[in-house]
Chains A and B, each alone.
Chain A
Amino acid sequence: MADEVLTYSEDPALAAEVSAAGLETARALGGEAAAIEPDDAPAGRRASSKTIVAKGGRKARGDEEAIASAISEIAKARNSKVILIGSTKSGRAVGARVAARLGIPSLGTAKRLQVEGGRLVATREVYGGKFLARVAARLPCVAAVQPGTYQPGPAAESRVEVYSVSLKEPTVRTLEVRPKPSNSVDLRSAEIIVSAGRGFAKREDLALAEGLAKVLGGAVGCSRPLSSDLGWLDEGRHIGLTGVYVHPRLYVAVGISGQMQHLAGVKDSKLIVAINKDKEAPIFQSADYGIVGDLYKVVPAITKILASPGA
């Protein structure tokens, strides 16, 4: 039987999530899913029942054009109906190139995928996260899968096929990669997040947010101005429409006014707490619990209670 669904992500953890989305989609289409991996992918994490190892793929790392060309080749050879790509920054460039190369429609970052009437329907956030759109694409098509929306299945026995990809000289040359600072975290999997905003007057004051995060066993994130304009925290901690989307059990927004673009990234939090001195701040409309007050007094008070033994 043909591989109805192909899945790919350069991020191994996300690849397992995309495989789960692929299996579900393949089941709805009555076909099989196959995960595409470069030949240096860590073994033992295979979640699909079929894996296509792209021989030579290790040389394409970071080269979206080459990866897209390889995926397009494989999809064409197998007459695949759906190509699912993990929605990282690099993955979105890969998926878009695949769609243009094959002349097929492409669905932007989806929270949910369903097969309806022979089309693939993506549920995705639009208009700054204020609305959810359901968008249907004719098959074959490409879709990007939002991180954190599909539970990876258990690693399965996987039939492995090897496919030799033809690689061209990259047109974009990488001169240097500066990895994220070693103290950085993947906020997408954090259970508790304390997030800092413009309400903090100085960089050193972020110690208050860090102190609270520490007693809560959580991670520190921020709104856009702190990472982008002020550079107080690295870009990986920027939560919002143009940063990361998070879905913690508890999200504590400290000194964050609650611009729509920030709220887009925190919508899936189970519980939202807001601390802000401005009682009119929009964040309070999107919070479960709010404290109107000076963060310099409120945050240490919370930290103190949580840190005291037997509290």
Chain B
Amino acid sequence: MRPSLKILVLVKSAVDEAELKSDASGRALLAGAQTKISTFDKNAVEAAVSLKERVGGSVAALSLGSQDSRKAVKEALAMGCEKAALILSDGPLDTVATSYYLAAQIKKAGGADLIFCSEGSSDTFQDQVGAMVAEFLGLPFIPYAKKVDLENGKVRCEQILDEGVRVSEAGLPSVISVVSEANEPRYPTLLQSMQASKKPIEEVPVASLKGPGLPGTAIEVLDVIGHSVARKRVILEGTPEEAAKKLVDELRLEGAIK
């Protein structure tokens, strides 16, 4: 085992989908919407912090976004990351540009042995940044890991894929995305949350990471509109037998069953 394992975890600030409202025409009111740490990023932080607790080393968090992202970063610090860096960008960036800057900052900071991220963000769930960061850094990428272990200087994962479970192994450094089933993220105590505000957050202006061949943002969100399917919402009353009979009759009328 190398003397000090450097673990990095990527976190992002996401619009809280449970609180997101729409206007009269159904358009999402994204301006000023409430944000939080992307739900599944907590699983990535938990995987990173618990690995450190098992095998030693250090854990840092890395994020990209506006000043508003400090809240998400602080949550990662409260969960056990020791320090953090926040790449400050003025406007939204697409996944390629975001990953390019994350990779550039990782390189600038001297790299990491293991880079954790979540399987996708809870707001737009594009599920791209982990693979893209790996590509920009020229590293292996192990997506959808449920179990992560270090053995003889290699990382061994159980991946939950469409075809089943794949047990795989890669050298360090590697990028790993963690499924939300991997663990139960810890709740920081009040004390941990207070201590987190004293942990350092390095702010990195996005302009300082610009290099040759930089991908610009080539994506535009045209609109975000409420997606509700009108449902009948009929409650069938009666005893279990009566309700069951009514249901079967309705389903036959609908042609849903024969």
Contacts and interface: CB of A to CB of B under 8 A. Distances in A.
A137 B219 contact: yes
B160 A235 contact: yes
A92 B128 contact: yes
A302 B244 contact: yes
B246 to A, nearest CB: 8
B143 interface: yes
B250 A96 contact: no
B218 A93 contact: no
Interface in B221-251: 221-229, 231-236, 240-241, 243-245, 247-248, 250-251
Interface string A31-54: 000000000000000000000000
A135 B225 CA distance: 12
A111 B234 CA distance: 29
Interface string B75-93: 0000000000000000000
Contacts of A224: 180-181
A99 B240 contact: no
Given A68-B135, A130-B227, A288 B234 contact: yes
A279 B247 CA distance: 17
B235 A100 contact: no
A99 B248 CA distance: 49
Contacts of B224: 126-127, 131-134
Interface in A133-165: 133-138, 141
Nearest to B227: A132
Contacts of A285: 231, 233
B169 A173 contact: yes
Interface in B100-132: 100, 119-120, 122-132
B251 A272 contact: no
B20 interface: yes
Contacts of B211: none
B236 A289 contact: yes
Interface string A157-197: 00000000000000111111111100000000000100000
B179 interface: yes
Contact of B233 (A94, A138, A287, A294): A287
State the main secondary structure of chain B at its contact with A.
Answer: mixed
Contact of B127 (A96, A126, A134): A96
A260 B20 CA distance: 12
Contacts of B250: 289
Contacts of A287: 231, 233
A95 B233 CA distance: 39
A101 to B, nearest CB: 6
State the main secondary structure of chain A at its contact with B.
Answer: mixed
A210 interface: no
A73 interface: no
Interface in B12-45: 15, 17-18, 20, 22, 28, 40
Contacts of B136: 100
Contacts of A289: 232, 234-236, 247, 250-251
Contact of B167 (A104, A171, A176, A180): A176
Interface string A206-234: 00000000001000000010011100000
A298 B251 contact: no
A301 B231 contact: no
Nearest to A134: B222
Contacts of A294: 240
B66 interface: no
Contact of B125 (A108, A132, A138, A249): A108
A109 B128 CA distance: 10
A310 interface: no
Contacts of B164: 177-180, 236
A147 B247 CA distance: 30
Contacts of B22: 131
Contacts of A279: 235
B233 A288 contact: yes
Which of A109, A125, A172, A178 counts the most B-chain CB atoms under 10 A from its CB? A172
A103 B122 CA distance: 25
Given A272-B231, A293-B243, A105 B170 contact: no
Nearest to A68: B135
27 contacts: A64-B143, A89-B144, A95-B128, A96-B127, A97-B134, A99-B128, A106-B94, A108-B95, A108-B124, A108-B128, A127-B15, A127-B123, A128-B122, A130-B20, A131-B28, A134-B224, A172-B140, A172-B141, A175-B167, A178-B165, A178-B167, A228-B180, A242-B181, A284-B235, A286-B231, A289-B247, A289-B250
Interface of A: 11, 62, 64-65, 68, 88-90, 92-97, 99-101, 103-109, 119, 121, 124-138, 141, 171-180, 192, 216, 224, 227-229, 235-236, 241-242, 249-250, 260, 267-268, 270-273, 279, 284-294, 297-298, 301-302, 304-306, 311
Given A105-B215, A249-B256, A267-B227, 6 more contacts: A64-B143, A89-B161, A103-B96, A134-B225, A135-B222, A267-B229
Instruction: Give 3 closest A-B pairs by Cβ, nearest first.
Output: A108-B126, A96-B131, A301-B244
